[in-house]
Structure 1
């Protein structure tokens, strides 16, 4: 006779599956955005998700692990590197970002930033990795548009610099929209940023004008003649 799994054991199996993980993440994302990191407990998340409190550490070990998983999932949905691989224009990426921002949970990003800035532990490290992934997405998007004949070393350096600048601008607009939602037009601001960036994207690879050839006696030619 085939053995049957008792009800408590069956529930335990169900609670360590992908569906329970998703429910925990959904509940945690909502609660972190509503109450903040410090005011949300595993008990709160258990009640909201319908998953037992004891199953949460099985999935995420501790609260830091849970919050990092929440942030990683939320950002991947909005501005993961793969988004840049499939769209030809930055405006389309920022349009998706605006939709996520309006979802109601995007304040989570800054709540976790606060936690990351006051610690040097796992949250801090993971937030660094999150920012690096966002910059990497911009770099990938730029690389797909890189003109032929541009020196790769120079191009990579400039692409990294522009990725930092763009990421900073998007984050600034996001923060303003959260603090003063009635004071700015989110869509207009993001599309203005995209328009300026798309219009001047060629400047990313514009190399500086070479210095004029030095006159005899003042440059390397003079030093070479003295060494003879």
Structure 2
């Protein structure tokens, strides 16, 4: 009896959380983060205002939960556990999220994070770190045998940061200037460039001395 009652309590809690997230996602997209209050969310969701901080602590925590859930609809890590996806597939999934209509949440959170040193700032740092880590894992899974792991990890970390920045930059351009930015073509172009140069990622880079000599010969 006790376990059945607890399951029912958990189900009610999960349903309340889902309704709060649904309402918050709609309202953030319609009227922005700043203009949306807990009262608005409570009215839209049918859940009492006092229950919202119980589930999400504060408005910043709610915003991060909304963003994470929105991305997981299209890029849930569990989807990629069976087999290693291509970068083109990952970017197609990202584009699907962008086209869902709520991807501007990413920049809404970014704006909050850049003007804060509190919870939303640290949460956004963690959010970006998780996505860089996912790309690092994708790169590591394709690392050739016999490569020095320490040097390889440094290059993979750098490439993951570059890819994250490139994708977010393309996303922002497509939102602001959709008439002149073909997001699908831009993302697939990025995937093609990475595929073409992936084997060179783990090649030993030239030393400063070697680069200097090469520069002298060609000048």
Per the TM superposition, whether the score is higher than 0.5 is: yes
What's the CA shift for 1:179?
0.5
Residue 98 of structure 2 corresponds to residue 101 of structure 1: yes
Q: Could you tell me the TM-score, scaled by structure 1's length?
A: 0.81
Superposition RMSD on alpha carbons, in Å?
Answer: 2.1
What's the CA shift for 1:23?
1.3
> How far apart in 1 are the matches of 2:204 and 2:79?
28
SS class of match (2:201): helix
Residue 157 of structure 2 corresponds to residue 141 of structure 1: no
> How far apart in 2 are the matches of 1:60 and 1:212?
54
1:18 alignment partner, one of 14, 17, 22: 14
Partner of 2:45: 49
Query: Structure 2: 5+ residue runs without aligned partners?
Result: 1-8, 211-219
Partner of 1:126: 123
Matches within 5 A, 1:63-74: 63-74=59-70
> How far apart in 2 are the matches of 1:121 and 1:183?
36
What's the CA shift for 1:151?
0.2
Query: CA distance change for structure 1 residues 212 and 31 in 2, over 3 Å: closer, same or farther?
Result: closer
Partner of 1:171: 168
> How far apart in 2 are the matches of 1:106 and 1:152?
36
> Aligned residue pairs: how many?
201
> How far apart in 2 are the matches of 1:82 and 1:140?
14
Query: Structure 1: 5+ residue runs without aligned partners?
Result: 1-12, 214-228
> How far apart in 1 are the matches of 2:10 and 2:48?
11
The answer to which structure has the higher helix fraction is 2
What's the CA shift for 1:164?
0.4
Query: CA distance change for structure 1 residues 211 and 31 in 2, over 3 Å: closer, same or farther?
Result: closer
> How far apart in 1 are the matches of 2:85 and 2:170?
22
| Per-residue CA distance 1:52-79 (angstroms, 9 max, x = gap) | 2222122112212211211222233344
1:203 alignment partner, one of 195, 200, 203: 200
What's the CA shift for 1:175?
0.1
Partner of 2:27: 31
What's the CA shift for 1:47?
2.0
